[in-house]
């Protein structure tokens, strides 16, 4: 399977928001839950700092590095469910690490729900280490309170 990773562009907004909304529907890996206002998400999407994975001519996942003025970048990422387990997440994360190094960031960090074994395994594979746990940090629509694990990678 050919995976192309490139910078996000203005014309990707709607597709990026659509992918995001599909992942939000799972109510599992990312903080946002449905309903997602796709038009609004598209309009407000932060294209700068974004990378997209393209397979068979269509965006199937993306990663965003939110650059802090203090030298680190915060990562968020998602891959469409039907494309998982085939290296898309790895390709995106490798590209984001390279992108951050090129910009002289000293660290990448992220928060991940403590039950998210696939994401935690991916981050560990690239050298991220666990730095702490936020207990019952996120209240879900169901009323459940979910912990997050904070992870970081020194570049």
Is 87 a binding residue for ligand COA by CB under 6 A? The answer is: yes
Is 116 a binding residue for ligand COA by CB under 6 A? The answer is: yes
Is 18 a binding residue for ligand COA by CB under 6 A? The answer is: no
Is 125 a binding residue for ligand COA by CB under 6 A? The answer is: yes
Is 32 a binding residue for ligand COA by CB under 6 A? The answer is: no
Is 119 a binding residue for ligand COA by CB under 6 A? The answer is: yes
Judge residue 81's burial from the number of C-beta atoms within 10 Å of its C-beta, 0-12 exposed, 13-18 middle, 19 or more buried.
middle
Cis ω before 114 (30° cut-off from 0)? no
Is 79 a binding residue for ligand COA by CB under 6 A? The answer is: yes
Size of the site for ligand COA (CB under 6 A): 22
Minimum CB–partner distance for residue 51 and ligand COA (Å) = 12
| Long-range contacts formed by 117-124: CB under 8 A, 24+ apart | 118/29, 118/84, 118/85, 118/89, 119/29, 119/89, 120/149, 120/151, 122/89, 122/90, 122/93, 123/93, 123/151, 123/153
Is 89 a binding residue for ligand COA by CB under 6 A? The answer is: yes
Tokens of 18: 């659509």
**Residues found near ligand COA in the complex (CB under 6 A):** 23, 29-30, 77-79, 84-90, 110, 112, 116-119, 121-122, 125
């Amino acid at each position: 399977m050919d995976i192309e990773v490139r910078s996000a562009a203005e014309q990707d907004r709607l597709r990026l928001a659509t992918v995001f909304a599909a992942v939000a529907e799972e109510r599992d890996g990312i903080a946002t839950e449905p309903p997602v206002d796709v038009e609004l998400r598209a309009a407000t999407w932060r294209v700068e700092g974004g990378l997209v994975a393209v397979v068979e001519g269509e965006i199937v996942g993306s990663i965003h590095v939110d650059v802090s003025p203090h030298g680190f970048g915060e990562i968020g990422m998602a891959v469409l469910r039907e494309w998982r387990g085939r290296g898309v997440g790895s390709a995106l994360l490798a590209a984001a690490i390279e992108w951050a190094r090129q910009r002289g960031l000293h660290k990448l960090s992220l928060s991940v729900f403590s039950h998210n074994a696939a994401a935690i395994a991916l981050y560990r594979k690239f050298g991220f280490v666990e730095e702490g746990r936020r207990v019952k940090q996120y209240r879900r629509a169901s009323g459940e309170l979910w912990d997050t694990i904070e992870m970081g990678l020194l570049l």
